[in-house]
Structure 1
Amino acid sequence: MLPVPHRIRKSQDFQAVMRAGARAGTETVVVAVRAVPADHAGEPAPPWRAGFIVSKAVGNAVARHRTARRLRHLCAELLPPRQVEGHRIDVVVRALPPIIEADHQKLAKDLRSGLKRALRRAGHGETP
């Protein structure tokens, strides 16, 4: 489970990342990344926040919840422990249907690859 400060919860935040963020896709996920100035909220901001989109195309409710748990666990491991160049990184991960057959190593590799490419496209280097 991600701590509350590390979660993207508002639909406006999801939309902002998906519309204005840099994207990179792999076989199992599409990763969108948006850098937000750290002082944007006026309060101490976490170094990163993550949100997950797991549609019904992935499977039934059990499969979707399992997928979201796997993605949360991997994002907590992969995302940087500190702010990148004074920015908070907002990440939205959209699961694609092939994620159901992916084992842990394949999913970790795809997520890491998508995150690196999206960060590079956003102009923040290869953090993970």
Structure 2
Amino acid sequence: MLPRSARLTESLGFRQAVRRGRRAGTRTLVVHWWRADSEPLTGPGTRAGFVVSKAVGNAVVRNRVQRRLRHLTREHLTELPGRGILVVRANPAAAEASYEELGRDLTKGLERLGAVEAAS
């Protein structure tokens, strides 16, 4: 589970990451990363938020996708440089994607942003 201190819950944080941050997309998700080292953030460290719309599926499918993304993101939080906000938005293709595919797409999106080092 993602620690409470690492959860993004307020809309201002989502808005900052989506509007001011960098974006990288894959087939199943879009990753927004806003590095906020120089600007004040409420709360310590890097925080992550998730957007899973009704276009992904019904409530059961959306919750499953969000749980998977939350678990996968937890593994990457320590790799992210500095302080910032990470928003992971699921595309409709995420409903049919396996856990491994979501993990590959999340890693690929973070590598494209330069937020994590590419695995050799």
**Fold conserved between structures, TM > 0.5:** yes
CA contact 1:49–1:90 (8 Å) conserved in 2: yes
The residue that corresponds to 1:60 in the other structure is 58
Post-superposition shift, 1:125? 5.9
Q: Give me the CA root mean square deviation.
A: 2.2
The residue that corresponds to 2:93 in the other structure is 98
With over 3 angstroms needed to count, the CA separation of the structure-2 counterparts of 1:70 and 1:36, relative to structure 1, is same
Which structure 2 residue ranges, 5 or more long, are not aligned? Answer: none
Structure 1 residue runs of 4 or more that deviate by more than 6 Å after TM superposition: none
The residue that corresponds to 1:34 in the other structure is 34
Matches within 5 A, 1:1-128: 1-37=1-37, 40-41=40-41, 45-46=44-45, 48-80=46-78, 84=81, 87-118=82-113, 120=114, 126=117
TM-score for the superposition, normalised by structure 2: 0.88
One-letter identity of the residue aligned with 1:7 = R
Q: Identity rate of aligned residues, in percent?
A: 45
Q: Supply the distance in 1 between the matched residues of 2:33 and 2:87 (Cα, whole angstroms).
A: 7
TM-score for the superposition, normalised by structure 1: 0.83
Post-superposition shift, 1:126? 2.7
Q: Supply the distance in 2 between the matched residues of 1:102 and 1:117 (Cα, whole angstroms).
A: 20
CA contact 2:51–2:90 (8 Å) conserved in 1: yes
CA contact 1:29–1:93 (8 Å) conserved in 2: yes
Q: Supply the distance in 2 between the matched residues of 1:5 and 1:21 (Cα, whole angstroms).
A: 21
Aligned residues between the structures: 119
With over 3 angstroms needed to count, the CA separation of the structure-2 counterparts of 1:38 and 1:88, relative to structure 1, is farther
CA contact 2:35–2:84 (8 Å) conserved in 1: yes
CA contact 1:117–1:126 (8 Å) conserved in 2: no
With over 3 angstroms needed to count, the CA separation of the structure-2 counterparts of 1:20 and 1:39, relative to structure 1, is closer
CA contact 2:110–2:116 (8 Å) conserved in 1: no
